[in-house]
Amino acid sequence: MMTFHREGRSIMLGSIALFVLFSVANFYFLKDLIFGLFLFLELGFLVLLYLVLQFFRIPKRTCTGAELDIMCPADGKVVVIEEVEETEYFKDKRIQVSIFMSPLNVHANYYPISGAVSYTKYHPGLFLVAWHPKSSTDNERSTCVVKHENGQEILFRQIAGAMARRICYYAQKGDQATQGAEFGFIKFGSRVDLFLPLGTKIDVQLNQKVKAKLTKLGSLN
């Protein structure tokens, strides 16, 4: 079962209206004049409409994580697993796990753990390609930190890409996060970075394809 995300309502309605308009014009002007071009354009309109609609799809899933599991917050591919200095909130070394979302992936984002939201901040910025090394610090992005009841905190960051022009985030400081509940959405191509405590056992590998709410990234100690 699948639904469509509310963030795409106006875009999807506009795309459907444009598809109908262009299809009517295509039929009126080209069907009898250049039938091959008419079919080519009509197929192109259908493909573009499909791409827009599938981008906002939300498949029905149940989060499979246990209490201490760190579940994947986004669909995509693991592009970074490394020890880095996190400079915004922790200001110390953490394990960074980054997930790149192509335009074909589901783009809703979900809490990886349960706990209290202890920090949120939105950063305006650039729109470098999401795999660019500086996209994590220079691009438009939002940061959220959740503190588990055992005292450990995880930071995760939505990062806009070259095509992503709007980050939607719903988490607010003081909220109670539930593992697998939605905290945001990014429109058109992007990435999510997680910063985990040193010593966290990582259960994914570079270039592995992962799914939100279903893939276990690691476990809290």
Q: What is the pLDDT of residues 172-187, one digit of tens each?
A: 999 999 999 999 998 7
Q: What is the pLDDT of residues 48-81, one digit of tens each?
A: 998 888 878 888 999 989 999 999 999 999 999 9
Q: What is the pLDDT of residues 129-140, one digit of tens each?
A: 555 555 566 678
Dihedral of CA atoms 143, 181, 199, 96 in degrees, nearest 10, equals -40
Question: Where are the chain's structural domains?
Answer: 2-59, 69-219
Give the active site residues.
Answer: 190
Q: What is the pLDDT of residues 15-28, one digit of tens each?
A: 999 999 999 998 88
For residue 162, name the pLDDT band (cuts at 50, 70, 90). Answer: low
Q: Please give the pLDDT value at position 137.
A: 60
- Of 13 and 160, the structure prediction assigns the larger pLDDT to 13
Picking from 35, 57, 36, 55, the residue whose alpha carbon sits closest to that of residue 47 is 55
Please list, residue by residue across 203-214, b when 16 or more beta carbons sit within 10 angstroms of its beta carbon and e when fewer do: ebeeebebebbe
CATH number of 69-219: 2.70.70.10
Q: What is the pLDDT of residues 78-128, one digit of tens each?
A: 999 999 999 999 999 999 999 998 888 888 999 999 999 999 999 886 655
For residue 170, name the pLDDT band (cuts at 50, 70, 90). Answer: very high
Q: Walk across the sheet containing 76-86 and list its strands.
A: 176-177, 115-123, 141-147, 153-160, 190-196, 92-101, 76-86, 209-210
CA–CA distance, 31 with 64 (Å, rounded to integer): 51
pTM of this structure: 0.84
